Amino acid sequence: MRRKSFTKSALVFLVFAIVFSFRNIVNNQSQFGVMTLVLFLIGGIIYAIPITFVSIEFNSIKKLRNNEAGLGGWCIYSLGEKNGFIASWSSYFANVFFFATLAPFAVISVSFVIMGNNGFDILASQLVAKGISENNATRYSTMLLSLFAILLFWFTTYLSKKGPNWIKHVTNIGGMASLFLGLIFVVVGLCISLPIVYKQVSHSWSWEFFNPLNEHFFKGNTWAFMSALPWVFFAYNGIETIAVFQKDLKGDHKAFKVAAILGNVFTIIIMVLCGLTMSLVIDQDLLQKWGMSNSYYRVFPALLNLDPATSVWGQIILRLTALIFAVNTFGALAFWTVGPAKVFYSENPKQATGKWLSKLDHNGIPTNALNFQFITVVVLLVLVGTTTEGKPGEGTSDFLVTITQATTSLAIVPFLYLFVGYIRIRLKDKVEIEMCFIKNKYVAIGFAVMIIAILGMALFFGVIPSPQSWEENWKSSLISLTLSFLGTVVSMAFAYFMWYWNVDRKQKKFSSTTKGKEKSVSTRT
């Protein structure tokens, strides 16, 4: 019998540890400014909590008691093998795009550790000083960033194939350090910005910045604001995995329900506090000036009112922060390179992806699939690296924003399948669900439909750049559209094609062959 090892408090912290990422706090702060704390609250209510409830209900279905596959297994049960496979594929492919954000972030972190600055932005400025145009200088620097990111991803792919045990230790150390880094920022930031020392509060803390279309961020562009909403939802990704720990909690279903709700509430509060802290302490204009690629490291010296350019302690804090992020990101990259692929190719029908992709080595690692991942990430990094243009100092941020936009949009797709599957389950009266958060099935279905509409709207605006963006820079908009189109439409079409070619086509062929033999036998008779 499975040993129940989790207490309620342990599960609450586990929810927080799975979801919380300081990177996501900075990402959203650089996009939305002060509005981040409001959006984290709204995102938690309309996205994180419903996903947790739906995941727990799926996991409490009696026929799925022994299922620990998560979203893929739930969708197979509710939508059938084909659509379950597609949902699982969309989740897996979103992770492939995620690699393309992790690798360059790790490289930039190493640059800050070594140089105390973003070496790629410095390179672009130096090239401009030598007479090279701004667009070409930026392109050369992002191409170099892409090259280093590709080399790093190749290295982690190589290590993942070998399955070294030490990777989990790097991941654990870096992950915990990054987690506490975020908590330290919240505690210190709130202490500094208390009313007693009001002079420390950023001048940008005003009602003007609560307008999502203010001049500092979206400048009245409603479409651009809507296109960034997937970033808020992405900040809560991973929340659905909490359901698989249901069997490990001491106590009954009610205890798990309480712990899951408390975990969600605690995580949302911390996310909102992070947004509040950064809004109170850090000038929003500074975040815009630094850009997404530099803000991760510069917020900590700025929190203590230290300038890394003139302060030794500022430099130490800057480099230490970068070192923690570098270790954490390398560990995360090593884990995510093999983890999702191993789950996807081992738990989905082998015939769906074909023999070559689903081939496993003696460690259960799909080595050919890792090669496929690597090629896909190379294409993404080369595409963005060779097409990024703009002012020196902004290239690496534009690089990360472009890839992150495509990643966050694609991450919505599997949850559309999840909620559609949930609706189908609640429509069936014969399905035995041990833990229902909303007893009335029509009310539950109504909420699910509303969330599908919200996610669908966010996906639409996230994939297609705004008309104003096309007017300002049609090349950048075209690249964003290409990446998002590649991540959603093309990847999903490829999944459907794989299923048709490897499953439907062969089944039809087998069926027609069987019928032909039966006719031949009956004729002879």
On the 0-12 / 13-18 / 19+ scale of CB atoms within 10 A, 484 is buried
Lowest mean pLDDT: which of 184-198, 292-306, 387-401?
184-198
Mean pLDDT lowest among 104-113, 131-140, 335-344, 407-416: 335-344
- Secondary structure letter of residue 196 according to DSSP: G
Residue 524 lies in a domain: no
pLDDT score of 447: 92
Closest residue by Cα to residue 315 from 303, 301, 294 = 301
- pLDDT of 197: 45
- The CA distance from 112 to 477, in Å, is 29
Determine the pLDDT at residue 420.
94
- Rounded to an integer, the average pLDDT of 486-499 is 86
Over residues 438-469, the pLDDT tens digits come to 888 899 899 999 999 999 999 998 888 888 88
Domain contains 523: no
- Give the Å distances, CA to CA, from 206 to 23, 202, 272, 279, 445: 24, 9, 17, 10, 40
What is the model's pLDDT at position 168? Answer: 55
Helix (H) or strand (E) segment spanning residue 6: none
List, in sequence order, the alpha helices (H) in 116-165: 119-129, 134-162
Percentage, residues of the chain above pLDDT 70: 82
8 A C-beta contact, residue 97 and residue 380: yes
Please, is 13 exposed, middle or buried when counting C-beta atoms within 10 Å of its C-beta (0-12, 13-18, 19+)?
A: middle
Helices (H), 291-440: 292-303, 312-347, 350-358, 367-385, 395-410, 413-427
How many folded domains does the chain comprise? Answer: 1
Q: Looking at the predicted structure, is the pLDDT value of residue 37 above 50?
A: yes
Residue 436 reports pLDDT greater than 70: yes
Range in 15-24, 108-117, 386-395, 457-466 with the lowest mean pLDDT = 15-24
When pLDDT is averaged across residues 424-445 and rounded to a whole number, the result is 82
**What whole-number distance in Å separates Cα of residue 123 and Cα of residue 139?**
11
CB 374 within 8 A of CB 157: yes
- Spell out the SS3 assignment of 311-330: CHHHHHHHHHHHHHHHHHHH
311 pLDDT above the threshold of 80: yes
**Which of 25-29, 41-45, 250-254, 496-500 shows the lowest mean pLDDT across its residues?**
250-254
117 part of a folded domain: yes
Q: Which domain holds residue 484?
A: 8-517
Give yes or no for a contact between 318 and 112, defined as CB atoms under 8 angstroms apart. yes
pLDDT at 392: 85
Give the CATH number, domain containing residue 25: 1.20.1740.10
Q: Which residue has the higher pLDDT, 329 or 138?
A: 138
- CB-based contacts of 388, cutoff 8 Å, min separation 6: 138, 139, 142, 395, 398, 399, 402, 476
Distance (Å, rounded) from C-alpha 89 to C-alpha 472? 35
Residue 144 in domain: yes
Q: Return d(Cα 162, Cα 138) in angstroms, integer.
A: 36
Nearest to 264 by CA among 24, 74, 39, 50: 50
pLDDT of residue 198: 43
Give pLDDT, residue 170: 56
AA letter at 104 = P
Residue type, 183: L
Enter the tokens of residue 166.
Answer: 């030490």
Q: pLDDT (tens digit, 9 = 90+) per residue, 80-90? A: 889 989 998 99
* Residue 463 within any structural domain of the chain: yes
Question: Is 1 within a domain?
Answer: no
Q: Roughly what angle, to the nearest 10 degrees, separates helices 81-115 and 119-129?
A: 70
- Which of 10-19, 57-66, 409-418 has the largest mean confidence? 409-418
Compute the distance between CA of residue 148 and CA of residue 11 in angstroms, rounded to an integer.
Answer: 38
Does residue 189 have a pLDDT over 70?
Answer: no
Strand partners, 499: none
Provide the pLDDT for residue 452.
94
The rounded Cα 478 to chain-centroid distance in angstroms is: 22
> 143: helix, coil or strand?
helix
Find out whether 44 and 290 touch, Cβ atoms under 8 Å. Answer: no
Q: What residue has token string 């408390």?
A: 262
Bridge partners, residue 6, by sequence: 249
Nearest C-alpha neighbor of 374 from the set 165, 152, 85, 139: 152
Structure tokens at 241: 């995995």
Per-residue confidence (pLDDT) for residue 199, from 0 to 100: 46
Which value, in Å, is the radius of gyration of the alpha carbons in the chain?
A: 24
The pLDDT value recorded for residue 137 is 92
In a domain, 249, yes or no: yes
Residue 12, Cβ density class (10 Å: 0-12 exposed, 13-18 middle, ≥19 buried):
buried
Q: How confident is the model at residue 196 (pLDDT cuts 50, 70, 90)?
A: very low
Cα 258 from Cα 154, distance rounded (Å): 43
Beta bridge partners of 61: 433
